[in-house]
Amino acid sequence: MRTTTADIRRKKASGERFAAITAYDVVTARLADEAGIPLILVGDSLGMVVLGYDTTIPVRLEDILHHTRAVVRGSSKALIVADLPFMTYQKSAEHALENAGRCLQEGGAQAVKLEGGRAMADTVSQLTSAGIPVMGHIGLTPQSVHQLGGFKAQGKDLARARELLADAIALQEAGAFAIVLECIPAELSKQITARLGIPTIGIGAGPHCDAEIQVVSDTLGWFSDFVPKHAKQYANLSDAAADALRTYVREVEEGAFPTERESISLSEDVLRELEGEGS
Ligand code: KIV
């Protein structure tokens, strides 16, 4: 039985902190599931850390559906949240319903995430009324990178801090089951966390949120082009993989791989026949 959005809400009520992570493929989903992570996000960060784009903006719904199906196949316990890409939910609530519905129906996710606060409250309300659980996302919202003037921390001045608090409350009132707080000051996320009855899930938002989420490629040291300040590398898979590939290349070039151990053999009889035909 998978974790439900009700289980996630209950964690706040019982004061149980939890870790969430992104995943984009079967292997990572299986590892996250086996590590006991209750919420896996198929984030549109896949555009940057898997597909090689500079921002998340080019990611399409088809990309998210494709990777969500893989993550669902690789896991059996975690709640799977599909990230709604840029322009799949902003045009109208009807458009959002159609696309979020596809994430559940075709992707196999149990919930969706979308970026934005008060401006998205009506859409969140319509999605949740239709039975589609929604995770909110405020602060640094990467799909608005051009509006924000870059990947910059948010909520550092009083006016913006007040706006983010109002956004969080509006999302909760609209029915969101949890809210991601990205790159905002720790003191602000502490205030927001204290005011909400649903879990806050921080990323670059300090230690006071109810939960933490990280991009798995940062956590495992897999994507080393850029490591955000808020990330901690618990492994260095990129260096380990580079070493392994260099060793593989050298062994093939030197004839040290493959050996008999990695080969299959003909039976004596077949070999004899074959050699006889050649003579
Ligand atoms: O797409 C993503 O990975 C995200 C997380 C940073 C929360 O939105």
What is the average per-residue pLDDT within 158-179? 98
Number of DSSP helices (H) and strands (E) in the chain, helices first: 12, 8
Dist. CA 240–CA 220, nearest whole Å: 11
- 44 CA to middle of ligand 1, Å? 6
**Closest ligand 1 atom, residue 45 Cα:** 1
Contacts 24+ apart (CB under 8 A), 7-11: 7/38, 7/79, 8/38, 8/39, 8/79, 8/177, 8/178, 8/199, 9/177, 9/178, 9/198, 9/199, 11/38, 11/199, 11/210, 11/211
Lowest pLDDT segment from 95-104, 178-187, 226-235, 255-264: 226-235
| Candidate of 68, 113, 179 to mutate for ligand 1, largest count of ligand atoms within 8 Å of Cβ | 113
Query: Residue 215: CB within 6 Å of ligand 1?
Result: yes
Q: What per-residue confidence (pLDDT) applies to 165?
A: 98
Dist. CA 145–CA 143, nearest whole Å: 6
Q: What per-residue confidence (pLDDT) applies to 17?
A: 98
| Nearest residue to 132 via CA among 147, 112, 114 | 112
Query: Do the Cβ atoms of 115 and 147 come closer than 8 Å?
Result: no
Across all residues in the chain, what is the average pLDDT? Answer: 97
- 15 CA to middle of ligand 1, Å? 24
pLDDT band at 279 (very low <50, low <70, confident <90, very high): low
Helix (H) or strand (E) holding 189: helix 186-195
- Is the pLDDT assigned to residue 278 strictly greater than 80? no
Active-site entry in 16, 98, 115, 182: 182
| Nearest residue to 82 via CA among 95, 74, 71 | 71
| Beta pairing class for 211-214 and 79-83 | unpaired
Angstrom CA distances, 26 to 31, 33, 38, 214, 254, stand at 9, 10, 16, 18, 34
pLDDT per residue over 110-123, tens digit each? 999 999 999 999 99
What is the average per-residue pLDDT within 90-110? 98
- Is the pLDDT assigned to residue 22 strictly greater than 80? yes
Q: What per-residue confidence (pLDDT) applies to 28?
A: 98
Query: Residue 135: CB within 6 Å of ligand 1?
Result: no
Residue 77, class by beta-carbon neighbours within 10 Å (0-12 exposed, 13-18 middle, 19+ buried)?
Answer: middle
Q: What per-residue confidence (pLDDT) applies to 277?
A: 86
pLDDT per residue over 137-158, tens digit each? 999 999 999 999 999 999 999 9
Residues 6+ apart with CB under 8 A from 44: 56, 59, 64, 83, 84, 85, 86, 142, 143
Report the percent of the chain where pLDDT is more than 90: 97
Query: Residue 22: CB within 6 Å of ligand 1?
Result: yes
- Is the pLDDT assigned to residue 95 strictly greater than 70? yes
What is the average per-residue pLDDT within 63-85? 98
- Is the pLDDT assigned to residue 79 strictly greater than 90? yes
- 249 CA to middle of ligand 1, Å? 35
**Closest ligand 1 atom, residue 83 Cα:** 1
Query: Residue 45: CB within 6 Å of ligand 1?
Result: yes
Query: Do the Cβ atoms of 39 and 78 come closer than 8 Å?
Result: yes
pLDDT per residue over 186-239, tens digit each? 999 999 999 999 999 999 999 999 999 999 999 999 987 788 999 999 999 999
- 162 CA to middle of ligand 1, Å? 23
pLDDT per residue over 29-48, tens digit each? 999 999 999 999 999 999 99
Active site residue 182: yes
Dist. CA 226–CA 223, nearest whole Å: 7
Q: What per-residue confidence (pLDDT) applies to 223?
A: 85
